[in-house]
Copies of this chain bind each other. A is one copy, B any other.
Amino acid sequence: MSEVETVSEQRRFGVIGTGVWGETHLMAYASHPGVELACICDLDEELLAQRAEQYGVECTTTDYREILANEEIDAVSVVTPDFLHREIAVAAAEAGKHVLLEKPMATTVEDCETMIAAAEASGVTLMVDFHNRWNPAMWGIKQQIVAGDLGAPQMLTVRLNDTIYVPTGMLSWGGRSTVIWFLGSHSVDLVRWLFDDEITRVYSVARSHVLKARGVDTPDFFLTTVELAGGGVAQIENCWIMSTAMPTVFDFKLEMIGSEGTCFADCSSHRMLQSFTPAGASYADVAVRTEVQGEPGGFGVNSIRHFADCVIEGREPAVSPRDGLENTRVLVAIHESAESGQPVELPR
């Protein structure tokens, strides 16, 4: 054993919102050697108690302000519905907490700007959890672009769809959001990040039939085309009504065509593992949020760990507040275009 002993201090993190994805934050923090999962918040007391027991958290609350008032807490994850980020994030920043926001940053540009101003004023770290930048397939494409293997990026297509279970069963608030906020946010972030460029023009067509008939008043899908400042073009497909007979809850495919090379990613029906049992056909998650030999893993966990590492080491996260703001700006324009039926310009 080393004679040298190092002194390290665990940082204390809180999680506000412990639903399906909130649990990923619990997994990431609870398994991080430098982090103490100090306090968790949810409006659902039963769920809260269950999570607290499973992840060994002593402090629980239904009022996020209690977490913010706790001076021992260094940082918080905000994993509430899309449209409920601003108030919490601003209060957190004002309380001096570093903030990790689930995607999208917010549903208005003003919300984004307000949160960024609050973080800057307090000097806290603010990151939006665009975790596909940690997806090994997406990272692989990014590296190939950076290395020049594909030549200059010309066009990109991204499909990110969910089965109808997501807006009608998994999310209680599907009708108060859209598939653009939920999945388009990832898609747009990938476009900006892979092209390393800004989107300047948007066109989108949406329809509202199937979900509406099911009592969830939100569009079924958006089919979007975006143009980038440097000349690149991308087609984005976001749909919330795929059949629940699909073996995965989502369908995620990406294609990048450069002047010299072409590449394809399939992050859903890749067939790493296919299972057929009396319960039906299913493809288990092997990449997003996994638990192998007792250890949590997957890129959904790794982006959260990255935030923790940045807080601990005082580093800038790989996703900037501006990434969140520009993302929301595009998402707002997509909704506008789908509404008006016309292209929307995003001048720079």
Contact = CB atoms under 8 A, between A and B. Distances in A.
Contacts of A235: 223, 235, 237
Chain A: number of interface residues, binned into ranges: 35 or more
Q: Is the interface of A mostly helix, strand, loop or mixed?
A: mixed
A150 B297 contact: no
A137 B278 contact: no
B306 A302 contact: no
A6 interface: yes
A173 to B, nearest CB: 23
A75 to B, nearest CB: 10
A243 interface: yes
Interface in A40-69: none
B6 A1 contact: no
A34 interface: yes
A282 to B, nearest CB: 9
A207 B281 contact: no
A246 B292 CA distance: 26
Given A1-B11, A9-B2, A278-B245, A263 B273 contact: yes
Contacts of A245: 261-262, 276-281
25 contacts: A1-B74, A2-B11, A7-B7, A134-B293, A136-B286, A137-B272, A139-B292, A140-B275, A141-B273, A141-B275, A144-B275, A159-B255, A161-B257, A223-B234, A242-B276, A245-B280, A247-B281, A261-B275, A263-B273, A263-B274, A263-B275, A264-B273, A264-B274, A292-B302, A297-B297
Interface of A: 1-12, 33-34, 36, 38, 72, 74, 133-137, 139-141, 144, 149-150, 152, 154-155, 157, 159, 161, 203, 205, 207, 209-210, 220-221, 223, 225, 227, 231, 233-235, 237, 239, 241-243, 245-247, 255, 257, 259-267, 270-281, 284, 286-287, 290, 292-293, 295, 297-299, 302, 306, 318, 341-343
